[in-house]
Chains A and B, each alone.
Chain A
């Protein structure tokens, strides 16, 4: 059994750390893990996508479109972009935040008038959450990633301790408590 996860967002939103924590959990559980992440130009505020696959033995590091089990979308437009990759029975959470790309700001393209409805039209099971508000409640706007991971942890079978250990292993010591709090708020979603 292979589990496929996609993390999609905008450069600088903390998607990389989210991928690192998930792969750490899978490793702690003794599973094979492969991660695919393109960095380079995209760091300059472009779309970023991380693919994580884990299971007994992983062959391709890349997911198959339409067969992805879970998606964490950090932004509405990015959620809309990747939603079709989700399997019909997969689960997706979308942070209810709108970050207009420069193509929209400069008036060349339009931001979808109702991105939520568009996402729901593609994958009706989509869950929306104000992860930014929860992250701020935990103590920092930067912890959107941990809120979304909290939600993901409820969908997967790993013990909560594994997640907490992985957070401790991947986050700077002074941010661990805030991150754990954001994670707990995400679990309660």
Chain B
């Protein structure tokens, strides 16, 4: 069989394909996005981008109940959005295998929090599996589908960033078609009204007991006995580091983080002198294991925050033994920035000049919070901007909403902003909302959305019209503006802030990274006009620098958007025609 170096995400997609999977519906979110992108490349699979994780899970539930194997992938916070259907599909159970991916992000490489979604498995009362490398990503996806069908339960496949984005060797197999199970109308199973849900809750508890027994015997949980002085319980990415840093330790690798194999863990604990639970984020295993009266080390040694690295284990368990790298302290950081030519920069330049309170949201535009633009006051979760602006007005009155703007990207608006807009209109707000429509879900790597006019395969699809949608929600004042038209955008925002009703401004301009989107104007420095005032640097463009009192344009970076020319008070930067 062919061997290939694959990311964990590509291996999950492959595993789903090999297992005869059929339907994938997801909303993008780092580090889970590539699962669905890879799935879309298999012609046998139906794959789509849904508007949010709740919809994605509901699509997968519908497919599962129809009798086929289905999958929904999301980042950890996506599970919050999808939690409602997940808690109840736990009761209905499945027909075809149903797996959802929770891609957690210890270390927060690209997330707004560091939640540990193993708690969800326990709260939803479903099994979770967690692979350590790409080969296991493939194998465990298949195992998860089998468990789902065997125990009539949705299954959570938990990944972390290191496993999802790490690449390891995978042995590829062939696709084995899964038969479509007949759909049979069965309200006792599928209609979760109280009368049906009460007996179903009993079924769920019995299922958990059966899964606890399964956990004792499944090969997903593996004991590797070595020296018995030290025993380590771990899973996921951490397992690889433990094997490397503690080669003599005995290890109990949990491929199934929930439910836990009580007997297996008790036996393992008895067989070693000292037991260590090494887990990222919360003391999930540790708390359960201690509740059984078993003593172990865990969060007394390891932090609750951040990812665990090989050196973390060495530092904590073999202090003084390991050579440590000298750190070069205090060197300038290189954070991600809005790209040269990014339309968001043009929008936030206006907002920063108007000195309004900006209730922000999640997307590339969140980067505008950083100096020098520093034009965002809040970021909580996707879609929060509109509701928060409404709440602020209700708390502080019209005076506040006259100097407040809610700002969110179009993918975020589709995800969870629409209902907040309806709320603001219905409850008589006078907030101003800006939808930054760059035609794509940029932050997560350019996935098309319902506003892009393209589907996941880049084929033409109906295009949502945000202005019309806002009007249908009851918004009477709607504008479409190109953010690079700085004078017009400024005037429109000022006008909107004065109107005592909900206003929606759609700032339309495709992401500069989209083919053909860069404006490529000829940019020239008029040296004699430059006084070295650095006003141009206030837009935080990585293509601009002021050296020895003179502005400089980095040609390899500049996309010729011309915003700097609008900013310069002395005409030292001149924008010409497109090159």
* A residues whose Cβ falls under 8 Å from a Cβ of B: 10-11, 23, 27, 32-47, 58-67, 77-78, 80-81, 83-85, 100-112, 118, 122, 141
Contacts and interface: CB of A to CB of B under 8 A. Distances in A.
Contacts of A105: 537, 540, 542, 544-545
B30 A40 contact: yes
B331 A34 contact: no
Which of A44, A102, A107, A111 has most B Cβ within 10 Å? A102
A46 B367 CA distance: 12
Given A11-B336, A40-B110, 13 more contacts: A23-B5, A33-B5, A44-B336, A45-B334, A45-B542, A58-B168, A60-B241, A60-B310, A61-B168, A64-B244, A100-B545, A102-B334, A112-B332
B556 A61 contact: no
Which of A39, A60, A85 has most B Cβ within 10 Å? A60
B328 to A, nearest CB: 6
Contacts of A100: 545
Interface in B232-269: 237, 240-241, 243-245
B328 A84 contact: yes
Interface string B16-34: 0000000000000011000
Q: Which 3 A-B pairs have the closest CB atoms?
A: A40-B110, A44-B336, A46-B336
B83 to A, nearest CB: 23
B133 interface: yes
Nearest to B545: A105
Interface in B520-568: 534, 537, 540, 542, 544-545, 556
Given A44-B336, A62-B162, A38 B109 contact: yes
27 contacts: A23-B5, A33-B169, A34-B168, A37-B165, A44-B337, A47-B333, A59-B244, A61-B166, A61-B237, A61-B240, A62-B162, A63-B310, A64-B322, A65-B324, A66-B324, A66-B325, A83-B328, A84-B325, A85-B325, A100-B545, A101-B542, A102-B335, A104-B332, A106-B372, A109-B332, A112-B332, A122-B326
A81 B328 CA distance: 7
A41 B311 CA distance: 24
A34 B327 CA distance: 25
A107 B31 contact: no
B319 interface: no
B228 interface: no
Contacts of A110: 332
B416 interface: no
B206 interface: no
Contact of B328 (A27, A45, A62, A122): A122
A34 B371 CA distance: 37
Contact of B332 (A37, A39, A63, A101): A101
B166 to A, nearest CB: 5
Contact of A27 (B5, B133, B323, B324): B5
Contact of A80 (B161, B328, B372): B328
A102 B325 contact: no
B364 interface: yes
Which of B309, B331, B544 has most A Cβ within 10 Å? B331
Given A83-B328, A105-B542, A106-B540, A39 B165 contact: yes
Given A35-B5, A62-B310, A102-B542, A10 B334 contact: yes
A46 B335 contact: yes
B338 interface: yes
Interface residues of B, number: 53
B563 to A, nearest CB: 15
A108 B327 CA distance: 21
Nearest to A108: B371
A83 B445 CA distance: 30
Contacts of A122: 326, 328
Which of A44, A67, A83, A84 has most B Cβ within 10 Å? A44
Given A62-B310, A105-B537, A80 B331 contact: yes
Interface string B301-319: 0000000011100100000
B311 A61 contact: no
B335 A60 contact: no
Contacts of B534: 107
B331 A77 contact: yes
Given A37-B165, A40-B30, A62-B162, A101 B335 contact: yes
A44 B338 contact: yes
B133 A38 contact: no
B337 A61 contact: no
B240 A60 contact: yes
Contact of B334 (A58, A65, A77, A106): A77
A47 B334 CA distance: 6
A27 B167 CA distance: 12
A110 B331 CA distance: 8
B138 interface: no
B339 interface: yes
A84 B323 CA distance: 12
A102 B541 CA distance: 8
A81 B326 CA distance: 11
Given A45-B542, A64-B310, A40 B327 contact: no
Contacts of B314: 64
B310 A107 contact: no
A163 to B, nearest CB: 17
Contacts of A42: 109, 336
Nearest to B364: A44
A59 to B, nearest CB: 4
Contacts of A102: 334-335, 337, 540, 542
Contacts of A111: 332
A78 to B, nearest CB: 7
Contacts of A35: 5, 166-168
Given A37-B167, A39-B165, A141 B5 contact: no
Nearest to A50: B167
B241 A62 contact: yes
B34 to A, nearest CB: 9
Nearest to A36: B166
A102 B545 CA distance: 9
Nearest to B107: A38
Nearest to A62: B310
Contacts of A65: 311, 324-325
Contacts of A41: 30, 109-110, 336, 443
Nearest to A27: B5
B337 A45 contact: yes
A158 to B, nearest CB: 16
A81 B331 contact: yes
A100 B243 CA distance: 40
B30 to A, nearest CB: 4
B126 to A, nearest CB: 28
